[in-house]
């Protein structure tokens, strides 16, 4: 996600936030300040809001800097102006509440003497903010007016939308093709998945028992982060003779991000007949599919599935599959457990999940060595071997990282270069278009805007940090990144808790409950190391973590800062910060 992409936790609420700030500011200015000259400013700001919204709607939020460095700078300027206005309003609100509490305390001390009652009420209602506060508010409104005026420089972005839309379908097709998979594995040798393979094969081939709910159609999922071997494992299972002999029909469909019932129905039919179906409507496609599957025991793999919020879509996709024979099975591969749960809800079935947490260190090392020393005599590079063992410890069990970093180092067998890579953080390695972080970013881009912001915030914590639910939600609330929804019955604490629960269901956090003798000792959430690296990649310039005493320049865009220092003397270096 590009910088300033969530200026207001989602572009849909951008102009309402600005309008609210402006109107509230003028309530103070009209009541306590000579604001006649400011009316024209208010009118101009509100008049330009539709232009701001038009630019927000036209922006490619994933590539703002690529669109325009000036646009990126303007978005930060606009965000700064709005935050300054909000801070000014917060100061005035605090002053008002403080005076009200003070007056109420005085009333309690003096008792309910009637002759004082009117005086105290007047004191509550007539407290006047200090001129310095009102002056700051007026200046912040003028600054907001100036920042919003800059929108006129970016109307060409809006004018280009029509041209961009002409290429949208082409870009989507290119992305789908890039991540399309087949049942044929590209890996010559696979490491560390034997245990998981045996578990899935056992699920697929053993009798289901006497539970009638399990006899007709069952659903299993392989869940894991990007690059953790989900597709590779599914390919191993699909091509296992023991598995294929258990089914009348075996089908492989690469779903990716294009979740569309007619398209997926066509792909399933094509996987059966090896040719495109002679139909386009969903009714005709379902009829063909039911004709091919009726009473047939089938095995369907839906690879790389993302959708966990379209119940209607899932029901349309799965409806014709109910007609299959006893013992039919659907196996999903996905990054999010919630995807499998949604499919289960659509069919009214319980789903079994197998989670891939990464390879063991010995398996990762073998995979790394295979790519790093391919075609070489490994005994001639003893020093690099030792460095490789240390590099593998930083990969956190991710097969894709081992493959990509190993292949990268294969092109430079210098000991000094390997040592340099060892010192780098994983997220700093620029390893081409198929790099690890590019794959992991897909998970992030599929999050709703409010969850992206909550996830990015967690980059300020150290790797391996254990979050208590209340602790993390309170920090989100204190940082102002949880917004009230339309449902006013829910508190901000409730909304923050739901955000954390959603991130856990989507596999961005792992929930752990430790107990002994039936007594819960600790409950906490944690992020996998590779997701922590991802959070640091997508932090959008607004979050920063500093460890040790090293000096570094803190960008003006930073809003959330975590500092770990031993000597309080070093705190002086942060005294100039405003936010």
Residue 300 · residue 331 · CB < 8 Å: yes
Domain that holds residue 314: 185-356
Residues 237 and 341 in one domain: yes
Please state the domain count of the chain.
4
CATH number for the domain harbouring residue 503: 1.10.10
Residues 468 and 332 in one domain: no
Cα–Cα distance, 516 to 459 (Å, whole number): 32
pLDDT confidence of residue 574: 62
558 inside domain = yes
pLDDT confidence of residue 569: 59
Query: Which residue, of 307, 333, 356, is where some domain finishes?
Result: 356
Residue bearing tokens 């936790």: 9
5 inside domain = no
Segment-wise mean pLDDT, segments of 10 residues, the chain, 579 residues: 37 58 74 66 79 72 62 77 80 81 70 48 50 80 83 68 41 53 83 93 78 69 90 94 94 86 93 90 94 93 91 93 92 93 91 91 91 86 90 84 82 85 65 58 78 87 86 87 75 90 86 78 81 77 68 69 65 60
Residues 429 and 490 in one domain: no
178 inside domain = no
Residues 351 and 413 in one domain: no
Residues 143 and 242 in one domain: no
Residues 460 and 390 in one domain: no
Residue 335 · residue 443 · CB < 8 Å: yes
- Give 524's strand partners: 512
Residues 330 and 209 in one domain: yes
Do the bridges between strand 351-356 and strand 510-516 make them parallel or antiparallel, or are there none, so unpaired? unpaired
179 inside domain = no
Cα–Cα distance, 526 to 137 (Å, whole number): 41
Residues 153 and 194 in one domain: no
Residues 207 and 274 in one domain: yes
4 inside domain = no
The DSSP code sequence of 7-41 is TTSSGGGHHHHHHHHHHHHHHHHHHHS--GGGHHH
Residue bearing tokens 């407290």: 127
pLDDT confidence of residue 261: 92
536 inside domain = yes
- Long-range contact pairs involving 99-107 (C-beta distance under 8 Å, separation at least 24): 99/123, 99/124, 99/127, 100/124, 100/127, 103/127
Residues 348 and 384 in one domain: no
Residues 23 and 60 in one domain: yes
Residue 208 · residue 215 · CB < 8 Å: yes
Query: Which residue, of 417, 438, 459, is where some domain finishes?
Result: 438
Q: How many CA atoms lie within 13 A of 355 on its CB side?
A: 11
Query: Which residue, of 410, 438, 466, is where some domain finishes?
Result: 438
Residues 146 and 279 in one domain: no
180 inside domain = no
| Residue 169 structure tokens | 């379908």
173 inside domain = no
Nearest to 227 by CA among 74, 431, 66, 416: 431
CATH number for the domain harbouring residue 196: 3.40.50.300
């Amino acid at each position: 996600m590009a910088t300033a992409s969530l200026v207001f936790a989602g572009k849909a609420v951008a102009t309402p936030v600005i309008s609210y700030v402006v109107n509230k500011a003028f309530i103070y200015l009209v009541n306590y300040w000579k604001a006649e000259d400011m009316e024209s400013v208010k009118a101009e700001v509100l008049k330009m809001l539709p232009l701001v919204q038009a630019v927000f709607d036209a922006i490619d939020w994933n590539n703002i800097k690529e669109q325009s460095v000036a646009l990126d700078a303007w978005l930060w300027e606009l965000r700064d102006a709005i935050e300054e206005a909000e801070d000014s309003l917060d100061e005035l609100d605090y002053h008002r509440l403080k005076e009200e509490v003070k007056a109420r305390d005085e009333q309690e001390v003096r008792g309910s003497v009637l002759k004082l009652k009117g005086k105290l009420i007047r004191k509550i209602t007539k407290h006047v903010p200090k001129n310095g506060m009102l002056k700051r508010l007026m200046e912040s409104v003028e600054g907001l007016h100036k920042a919003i005026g800059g929108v006129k420089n970016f109307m060409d972005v809006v004018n280009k939308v029509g041209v961009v839309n002409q290429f949208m379908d082409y870009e989507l097709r290119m992305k789908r093709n890039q991540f399309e998979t087949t049942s044929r594995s590209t890996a010559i040798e696979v490491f560390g998945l034997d245990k998981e393979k045996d578990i899935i094969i056992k699920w697929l081939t053993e009798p289901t028992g006497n539970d009638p709910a399990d006899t007709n159609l069952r659903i299993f999922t392989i869940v894991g982060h990007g690059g953790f071997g989900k597709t590779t494992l599914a390919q191993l299972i699909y091509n296992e003779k023991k598995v294929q002999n258990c089914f009348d029909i075996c089908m492989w469909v690469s779903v990716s991000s294009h979740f569309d019932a007619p398209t997926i129905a066509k792909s399933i039919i094509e996987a059966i007949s090896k040719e495109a179906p002679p139909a386009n409507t969903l009714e005709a496609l379902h009829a063909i599919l039911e004709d091919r599957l009726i009473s047939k025991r089938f095995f369907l793999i839906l690879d790389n599935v993302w959708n966990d919020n379209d119940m209607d879509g899932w029901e349309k996709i799965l409806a014709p599959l109910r007609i299959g024979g006893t013992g039919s099975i659907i196996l999903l591969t996905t990054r999010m457990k919630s995807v499998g749960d949604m499919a289960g809800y659509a069919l009214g079935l319980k789903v079994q999940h197998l989670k891939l947490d990464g390879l063991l260190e010995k398996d990762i090392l073998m995979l790394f060595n295979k790519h790093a020393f391919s075609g070489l005599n490994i005994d001639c590079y003893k020093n690099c071997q030792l460095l490789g063992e240390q590099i593998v410890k930083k990969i956190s069990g991710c097969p894709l990282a081992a493959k990509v970093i190993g292949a990268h180092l294969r092109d430079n067998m210098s000991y000094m270069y390997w040592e340099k890579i060892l010192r780098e953080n994983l997220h700093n390695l620029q390893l081409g278009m198929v790099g690890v972080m590019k794959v992991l970013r897909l998970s992030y881009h599929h999050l709703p805007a409010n969850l992206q912001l909550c996830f990015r915030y967690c980059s300020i914590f150290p790797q391996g940090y254990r979050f208590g639910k209340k602790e993390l939600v309170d920090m989100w609330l204190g940082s102002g990144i949880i917004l009230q929804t339309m449902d006013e019955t829910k508190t901000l604490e409730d909304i923050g808790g739901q955000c954390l629960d959603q991130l856990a269901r989507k596999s961005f956090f792992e929930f752990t409950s430790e107990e002994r003798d039936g007594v819960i000792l600790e409950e906490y959430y944690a992020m996998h190391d590779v997701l922590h690296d991802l959070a640091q990649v997508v932090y959008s310039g607004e979050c920063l973590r500093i460890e040790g005493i090293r000096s570094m320049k803190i960008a003006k865009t930073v809003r959330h800062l975590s500092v770990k220092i031993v000597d309080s003397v070093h705190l002086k270096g942060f005294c100039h910060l405003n936010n």
